[in-house]
Amino acid sequence: MTRSERLLALLQLLRRHRHPVSGATLAGELGVSIRTLYRDIATLQAQGADIEGEPGVGYVLRPGFMLPPLMFSQGELEALVLGFRWVQKFADAPVTKAATDALAKISAVLPAELAAELENTALLVGPRRIVDGEIVDLAVIRAAIRRERKLRLSYCDASGARSERVVWPVALGYFEETRMLVAWCEWRQGYRHFRTERMAAIALLEERFPRRRAAMLKEWRETDAGPRRARQA
């Protein structure tokens, strides 16, 4: 392992730990001496990495430090391109544009040989089979999820029956044939799954839902309402 590869590996190790981790643990995982580990940490700090700690106490990497794009491996670039291409094909327009812009930013700062790999990767995404017909703005749903705000939803079920709901949005799933909102439904008093093409109207409410979304997402995953047992509204 070269020194640059070792510094990158050290950053990745620190990123996996939210709390201080001892120098001995880091050195052991990297397969280097504790003296080498201390030198590597000093090098990263000099390059701008916000690493806090000291020998005998432990080290932690504070959020906000960005890895230089040139440090992506070929496999990492292929994974990024495949993910971006999937988003470009299956997501709604604002997210698609964001993915295109992000990929362009990465490509612009890569060394020439890696930029060429980015352009010529052979990993492709299959055809989109989603049934169009959405009339609501998914950006409103994403805003409600981020801000933990309630949504008023006018919804038609599979039989065409229309209902008015107030829901607590938890997640938005993108699939080949549909997009689906996971939410706690006040009317049903449980988690339900709403296909976006069946939404007739949505409105972002000022009222926040009374629980943290992260806790609700964990609960949804662990209960009978979870991903493999999805119940539609």
Q: What is the CATH number of the domain that holds 38?
A: 1.10.10.10
Domain holding 41, by residue range, is 3-61
pLDDT tens-digit profile of 80-90?
A: 888 888 888 88
Evaluate whether residue 128 is within a structural domain. Answer: no
- What confidence category does residue 120 fall into, taking pLDDT thresholds of 50, 70 and 90? confident
Query: Which pLDDT band, with edges at 50, 70 and 90, does 69 fall under?
Result: very low
38 inside domain: yes
Q: Is 173 a residue whose pLDDT tops 80?
A: yes
- Strand 199-208 to 190-195 pairing: unpaired
Average pLDDT, the chain: 84
Positive or negative, the CA dihedral 116, 82, 70, 32 is negative
- Whether 189 maps to a domain, the answer reads yes
In the chain, the percentage of residues whose pLDDT exceeds 70 is 87
What is the distance between the alpha carbons of residues 162 and 140, in angstroms, rounded to a whole number? 21
Tally of domains in the chain: 3
pLDDT for residue 193: 94
On whether residue 133 sits in a domain, the answer given is: no
Q: What is the pLDDT of residue 145?
A: 94
Last residue of a domain, one of 45, 61, 77: 61
Pick the last residue of a domain from 34, 61, 88.
61
Could you tell me if residue 165 is inside a domain?
Answer: yes
109, 144: one domain: no
Reduce the DSSP state of residue 90 to 3 states and report it.
helix
Question: What is the structure's pLDDT at 38?
Answer: 92
Instruction: List, for residues 25-53, the tens digit of each pLDDT value.
Output: 999 999 999 999 999 999 888 877 888 88
Tell me, yes or no, whether 143 and 216 share the same domain: yes
Same-domain status, 223 and 151: yes
Residue 9 clears pLDDT 80, i.e. is over it? yes
